[in-house]
């Protein structure tokens, strides 16, 4: 079951459901245990290309799962329903106490990068393409886009809780994609998330997108490079860890063992296995007008 506790966390999923064709695909998968792409295209009288686009959107939001099998006519992609139910809480049961900060994508506190890599402000490249040395340039704190093929970026999150308060949930909102030479819309990458070096799980970015120009891309940014990512919401609470309402692990806020004296470090990393890099977009690049939004929800101790 996908359980959405607040409307913001379900925004991308709601967009995925805002298509009659995608609803028809889900309806078909409730009638059949599995269908391949050709079956779905035939039943809906659509081209395979059109069906593939809709299927990717449903898969990205955890509504369906896809496996590859060998059939009579070669390799087939089989589609299955990934969840049986979806619930949405329209009103929180309790009032929320929270604070949030927007952190520049270039304002990392630690890093390790391998080419292809680079960073840029809204006005220019910092240093040179594919030279990790420039990640130490003091100008990096002003970067509005950062990309790397292997390694990690780590950010410090302010902790302003008082002794009468306790952590309830951490949220991170960011625009993210893979990193391919130039760009490649079909370039999967497993991107892992950590709090204080505790692995929270990973999300598979489907590609490094450049088919259309990013809404916020500066005029000087070359058209043959990556242009935009996907807006993601990472949440860690007492129920587990979630991306856009889809569980990625059972790690809870209690497992991280935070208190008012804790430092909070948020890390995004790419491993060697299925590592297609990562790109983080700030408010002057991509499609969304913000950098990394870090939100802390807390309770008053009783």
Q: Residue 104 corresponds to which tokens in the numbers above? A: 């520049």
Q: What is the pLDDT of residues 211-268, one digit of tens each?
A: 999 999 999 999 999 999 999 999 999 999 999 989 999 999 999 999 999 999 999 9
Other Cβ atoms within 10 Å of 166 Cβ, number: 17
Q: What is the pLDDT of residues 179-194, one digit of tens each?
A: 999 999 999 999 999 9
Q: Kindly list the structural domains of the chain, giving each domain's residue range(s) and its CATH number in brackets, ordered by start.
A: 2-88 (1.10.10.10), 97-300 (2.60.120.260)
Q: How far apart are CA 67 and CA 80, in angstroms?
A: 8
- Distance from first CA to last CA of the chain, Å, rounded? 31
Q: How far apart are CA 289 and CA 31, in angstroms?
A: 41
Report the percentage of the chain scoring pLDDT > 70: 96
Q: Residue 288 corresponds to which tokens in the numbers above? A: 């969304």
Other Cβ atoms within 10 Å of 197 Cβ, number: 8
Other Cβ atoms within 10 Å of 212 Cβ, number: 11
Average pLDDT of the segment spanning 91-104: 79
Count of helix runs (H) and strand runs (E) in the chain: 5, 19
Q: What is the pLDDT of residues 38-83, one digit of tens each?
A: 899 999 999 989 999 999 899 888 898 888 777 666 778 888 887 7
Residue with tokens 């101790």: 301
| pLDDT computed for residue 71 by the predictor | 66
pLDDT for residue 110 is more than 90: yes
| pLDDT computed for residue 70 by the predictor | 74
| pLDDT computed for residue 301 by the predictor | 87
- Mean pLDDT over the full length of the chain: 91
Report the percentage of the chain scoring pLDDT > 90: 73
Give the strand order in the sheet containing 150-157. 110-114, 150-157, 264-270, 189-195, 198-205
| pLDDT computed for residue 94 by the predictor | 52
- Residue 279: pLDDT band by 50, 70, 90 thresholds? very high
| pLDDT computed for residue 275 by the predictor | 85
What is the β-pairing status of strands 145-148 and 118-120?
A: antiparallel
Q: How far apart are CA 248 and CA 142, in angstroms?
A: 31
Q: How far apart are CA 214 and CA 118, in angstroms?
A: 18
Q: What is the pLDDT of residues 111-125, one digit of tens each?
A: 999 999 999 999 999
| pLDDT computed for residue 221 by the predictor | 97
């Amino acid at each position: 079951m996908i359980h959405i506790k607040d409307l913001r966390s379900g925004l991308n999923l709601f967009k995925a459901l805002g298509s009659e064709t995608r609803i028809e695909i889900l309806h078909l998968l409730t009638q059949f245990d599995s269908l391949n792409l050709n079956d779905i295209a035939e039943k809906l009288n659509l081209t395979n290309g059109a069906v593939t686009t809709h299927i990717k959107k449903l898969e990205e939001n955890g509504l369906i799962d896809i496996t590859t099998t060998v059939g009579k006519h070669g390799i087939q992609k089989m589609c299955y329903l990934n969840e049986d139910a979806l619930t949405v809480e329209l009103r929180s049961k309790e009032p929320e106490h929270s604070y949030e900060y927007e952190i520049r994508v270039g304002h990392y506190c630690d890093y390790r990068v391998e080419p292809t890599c680079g960073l840029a402000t809204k006005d220019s490249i910092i240093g040179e393409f594919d030279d990790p040395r420039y990640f130490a340039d003091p100008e990096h704190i002003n970067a509005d886009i950062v990309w790397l093929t292997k390694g990690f970026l780590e950010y410090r999150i302010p902790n302003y809780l008082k002794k009468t308060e306790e952590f309830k949930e951490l949220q991170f909102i960011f625009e993210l994609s893979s990193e391919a030479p130039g760009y490649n819309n079909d370039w999967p990458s497993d991107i892992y998330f950590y709090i204080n070096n505790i692995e929270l799980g990973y999300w598979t970015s489907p590609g490094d997108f450049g088919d259309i120009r990013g809404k916020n891309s500066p005029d000087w940014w070359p058209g043959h490079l990556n242009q935009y990512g996907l807006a993601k919401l990472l949440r860690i609470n007492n129920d587990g860890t979630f991306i856009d309402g889809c569980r990625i692990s059972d790690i809870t806020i209690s497992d991280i063992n935070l208190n008012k004296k804790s430092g909070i470090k948020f890390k995004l990393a790419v491993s060697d296995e299925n590592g297609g890099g990562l790109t983080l977009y700030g408010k002057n690049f991509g499609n969304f007008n913000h950098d990394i939004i870090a939100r802390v929800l807390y309770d008053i101790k009783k």
